[in-house]
Structure 1
Amino acid sequence: MNVTTNVNTTLKKWKQTLWLLPVVILLAGTLPQSSYAATPSVDNEKVRVGLFLDVGNTYSSIVPVVNVKSAGSLSVGQSKTGVVDSWLSIGNQASFGIDGYRVKVLETADFTTAAAGIKLLQSTSDKPIVFSASKNGGTVYQLYTGMYSSKAAATTGASRVASTVRSILNGQTPAVKGGFHLSAGSYATEAQANAGLATVSAAGLDGFVAITKSGGALAYNVWVGEEADAASLASIKSVAATSLPDITLTTVSSTQAVLIKRTNVTSSITSPSPIDHYMVSGTDVKMMLQGNDSGTQVTERSARTYRGDFEISNYNGQLAWINVLPMEEYLYSVVGGEVSASWPAEALKAQAVAARSYARFQEQGSKFKIADVVDTTLSQAYNGVSAEDKRIIAAVDATAGEIVTKNNKVIEAIFSANSGGASADPSEVWNGGGDVFVSVVSKEDAASQAALKNWYHVLLDNGKSGYVREDNVKLSGKKTSAGLDYMTVTAKNTNVRPLPVVQSNVSMVGQMNPGDQAVVLELLPESNSYQWIRGPFTSAQILATLKGKTTASLPSTITSIQVSQRGPSGRVTEIKVNGAVVKVKYPDVFRSALNSLPSTLFDVVNTANYVVVGSNNDQNEMPAAGTVILGASGQGTGSSSTVILNGDGVARVTEAGGFLFTGNGNGHGLGMSQWGAKGMADKGSNYKQILQHYYNNVQITKG
């Protein structure tokens, strides 16, 4: 169904179709042809959320260490086939890492030297961590960087690091380290192991306590060395045999599940602040940090607190940190991260069911390998307990287990922030998606601007244009020769902004005082997720963002941007630059390719050559007959900053060579519109009606 004619546009007089697209919650371009799969697994109680994980181009969020704390006691154990064997209590604070490839940068008895290394490295790609250890009867501080995905990557990193910290190396050479170790004995208690470790350290060797479990009992082992390969380990064994002639050294099996315990002093650069650090060691070993009712705070994730447990492993040579928790508790946060708790209950319920369906669908795939979803909008926004609210919890509980299905299979219920008046057809987004998604009218999207002020678009005496909010404006009663109103302001130093929205980090166009005069070009709503303005962008800015997004040959200068094709909802599916088609992998790429536009439901305004395709694909080039060019004085002009006034009295000002984008919506536009759901709920629709409006021929089922 073509819904273009049902969408209100702000530039109708210009024969432009204005819309925009919602927030992406799915990796662009990955939507399968069939967006429903397998029998719904509604009895699956757990969801696996990747917080830190490296799966290549699909998702990469890497840290060398994760620091945690809790109001209650935490414990850790080994995870096997979904069952956790608890090992030990670790108190309420600790840090975790993996026994992967790393670089030992230097060792020093002076903490200030180690702290200087932290400062030199912390802004680079080689992330620092400092451990303290006893050696030769004193305390030393060992500066490392990592982790690295391979020995080769670590070798390259060592060279980089040597250059970065050359001023503090004092003759030392950064060396690649890894997971090859020797065992110097096993003990029943940690105290006994520490005594054995003291012997190793007194000989000047690197040693650690390594915790294992066998036959239901923990063992505390003393390990020597941390080498990157077998040859280096053999060399260490030869040295250790001379230094420790009474100790039998054996090579540690790489398949053994181990927690290496060290002391992390990285958190403060003023003085050592030690916390216990655990390194997960062993091929394919997974450890589980078990949380408690107080939640677990993760420092490296903006110090957010999370429910559930955390699986810790080495995946692709990097630390993998997976939050494992009940689906419904996951949704308490997801729904709160996606929409406001103040919204109507039926909108919250619709979001809960859509989010649950999306997560269930992802559980059946392998996109994130060892995780079902990740915690960003690449999947769904998941920010821990801070996003929870009693109204959201009530909405999730009221729909517990409910999912959206088609043909008895859960659908990939993707959604976006605002459809801009019409949801997208799959052909307008990622070229596919099956028959779950069709373009439907979504006029309730306008709810996003219901409480917002209007703004006057004005042309100042100096030829610049900008926006002033309506509550600061007073019309003078005078008009230009072309019939446009003059205005002034009601307060001193009133800001004239580059876009109709308050932006604290953007420079003002200028300021006005009472009595100052400007020409009113138009009155329009505050830029928001339903209706927006971006730009004007220069040719250079557009060329910079187009690079890498298209296979087309780009010109040295852009003189025109033409919308040459639109899809069923009016979204842009093809553009021409200087008359040549710009080829992209799929239409949604245009959002990022054109300087991060909110959606592809847009029009382009440029003075040099303005061509658009209307809802019926008729092409019109502007300036056209009946067009008047005005300057700031209200008189005809040919200056670089001009007002284009068409035969119906609609005005638009642009800078010569600049490209202004006007549109509707925020995000890709496929599936449920969150603001549309809110608007429908405001008008009395229930959550099932909302879901069945946005997803084609579906059922709401509960397992």
Structure 2
Amino acid sequence: MIISLKNPFIITLFRSLIVYIILFSCSSTYAYTELRVAIKKNVKTLHIGSSSPANVINSQGKQIGNLTPLNKFKIKLFNQNKISLKHWKLDYFLIEPQKKGAVWIDGHWYRGKILIIKERNSIIVINLVDLDEYLYSVVGGESYPSWPKEALKAQAVVARTYALFKTSTSNNIYYDLDTTTKTQIYRGMEAESVATHNAVRVTSGEVLTHDGKLILSVFHSSSGGHTESVKNVWNSSLPYLKGVSDYDHLSPVYSWSKTFSLLEINQLISGLGSIYSLVPEQVTSSGRIRTLKVLGNKGSKIISGVELRKILKLKSTIFKISVDKESFTIKGRGFGHGIGMSQWGSFYLAKQNVPYYRILSHYYQNSNLTLLK
């Protein structure tokens, strides 16, 4: 559509309208919902190609040429204010493969179209991709194709709900999602498989809702035996994100340990002199540390468990600390924030032949499985 090509602001307004219609009135056609996924940010150069002839379109929606298939073309900043592609120098390109072809970006293949935008002194590359085609990759990126079908179906529903929720609430003018764990892992076609295609197709249009609205369907790898209530981590009150018993004991990160020398701790947590103790202050009912006191010979301070996890690169905030004369040893459980669906818990339940809708209702209590029409 030409309206979606004129400028990023119009894109955002137009997409917000479409998402509103789809999600809240459910009167629109679900068959095609296009997502904006940032696959590269803050780059100066990249290479692009396509499996079929690809139209090159400018910011006015006009086709200005094409890329021949199975060739590599360099894209780079030109004088810091334009993007150079072949002989064109613009601040905006849309690359649209013909005949449902795929686009190649620096060694990775993607479905859909590619939007290339200059922002300040760098380039953003955005994949405009159909929701379910996006999910083919995300389900493979967030789980394993060899996992039981019911676990993959649960992941497909959760990922679909999350993608639509983020799209409907995004305030970014250029994109709604990226390719990292900050949103969802997306690696293009390389993460797809027959199993992920089937999981997405079988659950097509299914999302999780509460009071008729999409839920924030966050998930994590492994909780360490019990998921966490969202209010204990993010100070939010969401009735569908409560702590529940988990079944993640088969997870390779169900339990873990990490040891730091005194020198390492003092380098990582500075300003307190020689640190001699880390004392938990507030702990949730499931054992996650909300705050703890760091004691050193030059002072003390309170930090959050989330902050300490980031500083020490721990797998979770559910841990215990022991100290001897030469080191700190941290023994913990699980991997991730512990909120919502535990992926390894869903794996175990699926192995016990628990259907995906029951897996979802366990981890997202007070939610409903809803079919978008």
TM-score bracket, shorter-length normalisation = 0.7 to 0.9
How much has 1:696 moved relative to structure 2?
Answer: 2.4
1:665 to 1:78, Cα distance in 2 relative to 1, 3 A: same
SS at match of 2:366: coil
Greater RCO (CA < 8 Å, at least 6 residues apart): 1
Equivalent residue number for residue 458 of structure 1? none
2:341 is aligned with 1:672 = yes
Equivalent residue number for residue 693 of structure 1? 362
User: Is this contact kept in 2: 1:424–1:438, CA < 8 A?
Assistant: yes
1:667 to 1:100, Cα distance in 2 relative to 1, 3 A: farther
Whole-angstrom distance in 1 between the partners of 2:233 and 2:268: 19
User: Is this contact kept in 1: 2:111–2:188, CA < 8 A?
Assistant: yes
CA root-mean-square deviation: 2.2
Equivalent residue number for residue 446 of structure 1? 249
1:418-469 CA-to-partner distances (Å, cap 9, x unmatched) read: 1111111223322225222111110x10122xxxxxxxxxxxxxxxxxxxxx
2:324 is aligned with 1:600 = no
Equivalent residue number for residue 565 of structure 1? 282
How much has 1:74 moved relative to structure 2?
Answer: 2.1
Equivalent residue number for residue 13 of structure 2? none
Equivalent residue number for residue 174 of structure 2? 370
Match of 2:104 among 294, 297, 314: 297
Match of 2:306 among 584, 588, 592: 588
User: Is this contact kept in 2: 1:95–1:278, CA < 8 A?
Assistant: no
Alignment of 1:447-486 (within 5 A): 447-448=250-251
How much has 1:697 moved relative to structure 2?
Answer: 0.1
Identity, % of aligned pairs? 31
User: Is this contact kept in 1: 2:49–2:73, CA < 8 A?
Assistant: yes
Whole-angstrom distance in 1 between the partners of 2:216 and 2:87: 40
Equivalent residue number for residue 64 of structure 2? 87
SS at match of 1:378: coil
TM-score (structure 1 length as normaliser): 0.46
1:507-554 CA-to-partner distances (Å, cap 9, x unmatched) read: xxxxxxxxxxxxxxxxxxxxx32111111x02332233335xxxxxx4
Equivalent residue number for residue 262 of structure 2? 539
1:348 to 1:88, Cα distance in 2 relative to 1, 3 A: same
User: Is this contact kept in 1: 2:349–2:359, CA < 8 A?
Assistant: yes
2:37 is aligned with 1:49 = yes
User: Is this contact kept in 2: 1:96–1:278, CA < 8 A?
Assistant: no
Whole-angstrom distance in 2 between the partners of 1:540 and 1:278: 55
Whole-angstrom distance in 1 between the partners of 2:59 and 2:146: 39
1:131-157 CA-to-partner distances (Å, cap 9, x unmatched) read: xxxxxxxxxxxxxxxxxxxxxxxxxxx
Match of 2:54 among 74, 80, 83: 74
Alignment of 1:353-392 (within 5 A): 353-392=157-196
How much has 1:307 moved relative to structure 2?
Answer: 0.8
User: Is this contact kept in 1: 2:103–2:114, CA < 8 A?
Assistant: no
User: Is this contact kept in 2: 1:357–1:403, CA < 8 A?
Assistant: yes
Whole-angstrom distance in 2 between the partners of 1:318 and 1:429: 35
SS at match of 1:438: coil
SS at match of 2:141: helix
2:144 is aligned with 1:340 = yes
State the one-letter code of the partner of 1:76.
V
Match of 1:279 among 89, 104, 115: 89
Whole-angstrom distance in 2 between the partners of 1:64 and 1:446: 45
Q: Give aligned pairs, total.
A: 342
SS at match of 1:445: coil
SS at match of 2:169: coil
Equivalent residue number for residue 26 of structure 1? none
Larger Rg: 1
TM-score (structure 2 length as normaliser): 0.85
State the one-letter code of the partner of 2:261.
T
Unpaired runs of 5+ residues, structure 1, are: 1-37, 53-60, 102-177, 180-258, 262-275, 449-527, 548-553, 608-655
State the one-letter code of the partner of 1:533.
S
1:581 to 1:397, Cα distance in 2 relative to 1, 3 A: farther
SS at match of 1:685: coil
How much has 1:691 moved relative to structure 2?
Answer: 1.0
State the one-letter code of the partner of 1:400.
S
Whole-angstrom distance in 1 between the partners of 2:25 and 2:321: 44
1:695 to 1:316, Cα distance in 2 relative to 1, 3 A: farther
How much has 1:384 moved relative to structure 2?
Answer: 0.7
Whole-angstrom distance in 2 between the partners of 1:411 and 1:375: 21
Unpaired runs of 5+ residues, structure 2, are: 1-22
Whole-angstrom distance in 1 between the partners of 2:269 and 2:171: 27
How much has 1:334 moved relative to structure 2?
Answer: 0.4
Whole-angstrom distance in 2 between the partners of 1:40 and 1:437: 24
Whole-angstrom distance in 1 between the partners of 2:87 and 2:292: 54
How much has 1:40 moved relative to structure 2?
Answer: 7.4
How much has 1:387 moved relative to structure 2?
Answer: 0.4
How much has 1:376 moved relative to structure 2?
Answer: 1.1
Whole-angstrom distance in 1 between the partners of 2:161 and 2:290: 29
User: Is this contact kept in 2: 1:425–1:569, CA < 8 A?
Assistant: no
How much has 1:597 moved relative to structure 2?
Answer: 0.5
State the one-letter code of the partner of 1:592.
K
User: Is this contact kept in 1: 2:272–2:300, CA < 8 A?
Assistant: no
Equivalent residue number for residue 167 of structure 1? none
1:362-410 CA-to-partner distances (Å, cap 9, x unmatched) read: 1112354311100111110000111001011000000111111001001
Whole-angstrom distance in 1 between the partners of 2:43 and 2:278: 42
How much has 1:278 moved relative to structure 2?
Answer: 4.1
Equivalent residue number for residue 662 of structure 1? 331
1:109-152 CA-to-partner distances (Å, cap 9, x unmatched) read: xxxxxxxxxxxxxxxxxxxxxxxxxxxxxxxxxxxxxxxxxxxx
State the one-letter code of the partner of 1:77.
I
Equivalent residue number for residue 3 of structure 2? none
Whole-angstrom distance in 2 between the partners of 1:583 and 1:40: 47
